Structure 1
């Protein structure tokens, strides 16, 4: 036989594994994206000489000293921690509490409230402007009591999770939001899952692979 170039034989199992790996590559990132989520919540911070540090305990478990600064920031972020956006106003106790005189049996705690951005807000709500207050509270008061003294009304859920400060937001509590989406946005946005075209393409790869395996087996049986 002349004029024909022989092609190397590909083992059917190896070919199918390669094609399945290609499908996994196509679908893997989309599947991971669909699982990602952000949360809306009030993050709690401690002010100091170096700026803001994320509080490792809740407000009921934290008893600030006289001269401390408690910071709060409403955020749309992954499930909490050091990477959440910090309060915008500075943690400046002297500036915040300069108009509040010391009192026997009481301590002064500066409080910074940052209601976040319009992108952080639940649909239909507008965040108030950031503000600061100086709380004069009994020496043994915890940060929840400090907050109640200057930022009522507060709203908690049945599990004692702080949901709203100074009445914001009006509803919801630690709501989960698909990453990259905004509940206030309208239109037919994607939920982050695999698109129809991507699924169709992956299906075509599998069908082609099955056909190739069948052809390889047919040649081997001749």
Structure 2
């Protein structure tokens, strides 16, 4: 039983590593998230841009990133102020002004072979009943949507893909590739980003099995030795 007791801490350590491996293998989605700014804070929009109807003076943001869900989503970076963004756009009857913040994300979040444009802001003047999608279209064409009306690209970025699933391993791989693209390089791939199967769980399970087998063998060996001595 001594060998078994000695093996327990090792087994616990391996199980903890397995938990970490499971977290590392978590998946996310590469997509444009939609935000509203109130009181100097970004809030994840509760409606899609095609449904939301902002008031004159609204500040809205779009951020491209890899996120697991809305709670994990990356906010638009930088400060956003309506008076600054729309300073040169005066009030006009029958229209409203919407400040739009576009954050194309980082090279780590970019699809393979693509480089994100720099962040920018624009003031959209649209009809008083216009939606957020209308305001976006007024300042950031071309837009691209999929067949389910999911916003896939703003100002033509990204060129390919739409809300595709990305593994944590794939995101890490993409971060390394992004550093190369930042220097002007390109891997010339087709835009897919698959980190491949995670080996953490199978390898960890095999380690647990081997440790358990070793502990059992040691216990049997010691038991046999004691019986022979008796």
Query: Is TM-score (shorter-chain normalized) higher than 0.5?
Result: yes
| Root mean square deviation, CA, Å | 3.2
Q: 1:21 to 1:133 in 2, by over 3 A?
A: closer
Query: Residues 199 and 173 from structure 1, CA distance in 2 versus in 1: closer, same or farther, beyond 3 angstroms?
Result: same
2: CA distance, partners of 1:25 / 1:202? 11
Query: Quick check: 1:33 aligned with 2:24?
Result: yes
Query: Are residues 1:181 and 2:172 paired?
Result: yes
Higher helix share: 2
Note if contact 1:51-1:91 (Cα within 8 Å) is conserved in structure 2: no
Moved more, 129-138 or 24-33: 24-33
Corresponding residue pairs, total: 209
Displacement of 1:68 after TM fit? 0.5
Aligned to 2:74: 85
- Superposed, which structure 2 residues align to 1:1-222 within 5 Å? 10=1, 18=8, 24-34=15-25, 36-81=26-71, 83-179=72-168, 181-183=172-174, 185=176, 192-194=198-200, 201-215=207-221, 218=224
Q: CA deviation at 1:166?
A: 0.7
Q: TM-score, normalised by structure 2?
A: 0.75
State the match for 1:7 in structure 2: none
TM-score normalised per structure 1: 0.78
- Segments of structure 1 that go 5 or more residues without pairing to the other structure are 1-9
Cα shift readout 1:22-69 (whole Å, capped 9, x = no counterpart): 6534534324432x1232111111122323222122112211001111
Partner Cα distance (2:123, 2:46) in 1 = 22
* Alpha-carbon distance in structure 1 between the residues aligned to 2:138 and 2:63: 18
For 1:106 and 1:158, how far apart are their aligned partners in 2? 30
Q: Is the 8 A contact 2:30 2:163 kept in 1?
A: yes
The CA distance in 2 between the partners of 1:15 and 1:159, in whole Å, is: 57
- Unpaired segments of 5 or more residues in structure 2? 178-194
Separation (CA, whole Å) in 1 of partners of 2:93 and 2:109 = 40
Higher Cα radius of gyration: 1
